[in-house]
């Protein structure tokens, strides 16, 4: 069957359908049908608009003055590191490279975690009794992946995160040490090329 045969078959089919509808007549003029359809469409759209307005109002009500950023959640994902709060109140941190440590420290503070970051020289804190309740390191061969529970941090403490690099011949990967310290206390630092930064 070629294109001409297909067109002839289609034309014949449409003609027979048109002929079968010859006895069908409209009781209403087309303008009345169109106006009724517009009204129905408008009524169907109102619940959707109402739902969207309620969702917007609820979102604005949640962001009332006086709430802290930690209450709303922190979600910062960069190439070097990421910080994301969970609905359970924990903070998931992935450090691939310690670039822009000041911004990482600020982001963790927004998530409710006062932190001291050290790079190169790995430092720990002096109040490590509650450390296992506060931080959990997950096995990841390429990155430092942590889950932190800010609510478990004793009052007046800071989390110490020391980031370094382990070398094994030509291979290297990030390594980390952790601790808790009383805010403003000196750190316990190992030897290394850089001092701890606050």
Q: How many CA atoms lie within 13 A of 116 on its CB side?
A: 27
Asked if 81 and 121 sit in the same domain, the reply is yes
| Most confident stretch, 36-40, 102-106, 171-175 | 102-106
pTM attached to this predicted model: 0.56
pLDDT given at position 194 = 39
pLDDT given at position 195 = 37
Question: Is the predicted pLDDT of residue 71 greater than 60, yes or no?
Answer: no
Question: Is the predicted pLDDT of residue 67 greater than 50, yes or no?
Answer: no
Question: What digits encode the pLDDT tens for the residues 139-183?
Answer: 776 778 889 999 998 888 888 887 777 777 887 766 777 888 888
pLDDT given at position 193 = 40
Domain that holds residue 112: 69-189
Cβ atoms < 10 Å from Cβ of 37: 10
Asked if 32 and 103 sit in the same domain, the reply is no
Residue 196 lies in a domain: no
Please report, rounded to a whole number, the percentage of residues in the chain having pLDDT higher than 70. 74
Q: What are phi and psi of 6, to 5 degrees?
A: -65, -45
Asked if 39 and 96 sit in the same domain, the reply is no
Helices and strands (H, E) in the chain, number of each type: 5, 10
pLDDT given at position 172 = 72
CA distance 108 to 120: 20
Cβ atoms < 10 Å from Cβ of 117: 20
Structure-token pair, residue 147: 């889950």
Of 140 and 61, the structure prediction assigns the larger pLDDT to 140
pLDDT band at 109 (very low <50, low <70, confident <90, very high): very high
Q: What is the 3-state secondary structure (H, E, C) of 102-141?
A: HHHHHHHHHCCCCEEEEECCCEECCCHHHHHHHEEEECCC
Asked if 184 and 96 sit in the same domain, the reply is yes
Question: Is the predicted pLDDT of residue 119 greater than 60, yes or no?
Answer: yes
Residue 8 lies in a domain: no
Asked if 111 and 178 sit in the same domain, the reply is yes
Asked if 181 and 113 sit in the same domain, the reply is yes
């Amino acid at each position: 069957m070629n294109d001409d045969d297909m067109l002839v078959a289609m034309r014949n089919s449409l003609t027979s359908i048109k002929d079968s509808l010859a006895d069908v007549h409209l009781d209403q003029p087309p303008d009345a049908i169109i106006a009724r359809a517009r009204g129905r469409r408008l009524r169907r759209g109102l619940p959707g608009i109402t739902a969207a307005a309620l969702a917007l109002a609820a979102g604005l009500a949640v962001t009332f003055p006086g709430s802290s950023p930690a209450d709303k959640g922190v979600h910062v994902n960069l190439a070097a590191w990421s910080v994301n709060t969970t609905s359970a109140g924990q903070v998931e941190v992935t450090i691939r490279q310690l670039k822009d440590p000041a911004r990482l420290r600020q982001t963790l503070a927004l998530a409710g975690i006062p932190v001291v970051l050290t790079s190169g020289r790995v430092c720990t804190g002096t109040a490590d009794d509650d450390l296992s309740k506060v931080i959990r390191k997950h096995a990841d061969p390429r990155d430092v992946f942590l889950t932190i529970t800010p609510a478990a941090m004793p009052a007046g403490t800071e989390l110490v995160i020391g980031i370094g690099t382990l070398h094994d011949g030509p291979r290297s990967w990030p390594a980390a040490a952790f601790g808790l310290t009383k805010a403003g206390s000196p750190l316990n630092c190992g030897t290394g090329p850089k001092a701890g930064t606050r």
